[in-house]
Amino acid sequence: MPEPIEVRKVPILNVSDASGLSDLIDKGEIEADRVIAVIGKTEGNGGVNDYTRIIADRAFREVLADKGSRSAEEVKQVPIVWSGGTDGVISPHATVFATVPADSAPATDEPRLTVGFAMSEQLLPEEIGRVEMVSKVADAVKVAMERAGITDVADVHYVQTKTPLLTIHTIRDAKSRGKTVWTEHTHESMDLSNGTTALGIAVALGEIEMPTNDQVMHDRSLFSSVASCSSGVELDQAQVVVVGNARGVGGRYRIGHSVMQDALDQDGIWESIKNAGLDLPDRPHWTDLQGRLVNVFLKCEVSQDGTVNGRRNAMLDDSDVHWHRQIKACVGGVTAAVTGDPAVFVSVSAAHQGPDGGGPVAAIVDLGDDPTGYVPPAE
């Protein structure tokens, strides 16, 4: 049985700041060697050349190395997933997952948070956007599930991944070996990598059958309701973190999920929080959370028909500000209005992640006696 999980959200005060992680360790709230995953938002442009992800990654790994006993190579293997771009009111932050000894966590037979991690086989540039990538991701998700102690796919509520996108260098590499790539537009390959990965998650969890190459990025009726996929230049494998619930693990945290049907669907966010185990009124307000919400994790995507709630918008036609940034700012504002906390994980490029124009939502709550979630300052 996996060990109980402690999960905390910390602010990032500047692009290279990891003081929040350092403080958690110094206060004894987590141990450096027990950190098993970090998922965070950095303040860059969210694009192919968003190097804030690399800067933040280095800062957090340096703290783990300095304050723990793991070797540099061991620290390098800790899954740390960064989503770039804090457009609008989204605040830079990181959510830290760490194991704790079983005898230090509340014992319960109720479902509690569990986390599993796996790396896929190497993903070649010519496989991005094709069924070979779908298959490799699906295999890694199954391994991560097993490591999390999850046997029922219904207990998986959030799968966070990081996968490679295409760069000029990797496109050239594929061509040198006589291979073709799905696209030669590197920014488009971000959406492509995310969408293909989501299909792999959906296959692993039995949400869909194995798709064809022609369905990738074209048949938006195929999606996962728990996938949250990011991509970048810093790896050549799928990094997979499966988060769910299991009985007998113990601890104080629990996760739930739902989907937003469109960019304004606040009910989808609230439903994920209720699904995690909080008892809320029929028309809840962020003041009802009382510090029990640790974080919410969302993916968002502009609707392919260019409408929200029946009204036309111009995001897809805007040549000045890419739709990635516009929809992220929009959904970030909607989410912060629900939670009362601008430090929310909202990531764009949600092809095959939730319904078209919407996206998956996962929520982690603290069911302990002294909840550790954010409480906004009193007015």
β-strand pairing of 293-300 with 227-232: unpaired
The pLDDT assigned to 109 comes to 92
Q: How far apart are CA 47 and CA 85, in angstroms?
A: 8
Q: How confident is the model at residue 379 (pLDDT cuts 50, 70, 90)?
A: low
Residues 31-47 have a mean pLDDT of 95
The pLDDT assigned to 57 comes to 95
Whether pLDDT at 364 is above 80: yes
Whether pLDDT at 47 is above 90: no
Residues 267-291 have a mean pLDDT of 97
Cβ contact 231:163 at 8 Å: yes
Cβ contact 203:140 at 8 Å: no
**Cα angle, residue 323 at apex, residues 321 and 326 outer, rounded to 5°:** 75
| DSSP string covering 310-336 | TEE--GGG-SSS-HHHHHHHHHHHHHH
Residues 93-97 have a mean pLDDT of 98
Greatest CA span in the chain, whole angstroms? 63
> Active-site positions?
162, 230
Q: How far apart are CA 14 and CA 9, in angstroms?
A: 16
Which whole-number Å values give the CA distances from 177 to 79, 133, 134, in the listed order? Answer: 30, 18, 22
Partnered with residue 259 across adjacent β-strands are 360
Q: How confident is the model at residue 155 (pLDDT cuts 50, 70, 90)?
A: very high
Residues 280-289 have a mean pLDDT of 96
Question: What is the per-residue pLDDT across 180-225, written as a single tens digit (0 to 9) for each?
Answer: 999 999 989 999 999 999 999 999 999 999 999 999 999 999 999 9
β-strand pairing of 311-312 with 307-308: antiparallel
* Straight-line distance from the first to the last Cα atom of the chain, in angstroms, rounded to the nearest whole number: 45
Report the mean per-residue pLDDT for the chain. Answer: 96
Which whole-number Å values give the CA distances from 36 to 5, 15, 89, 328, 353, in the listed order? Answer: 9, 22, 28, 27, 25
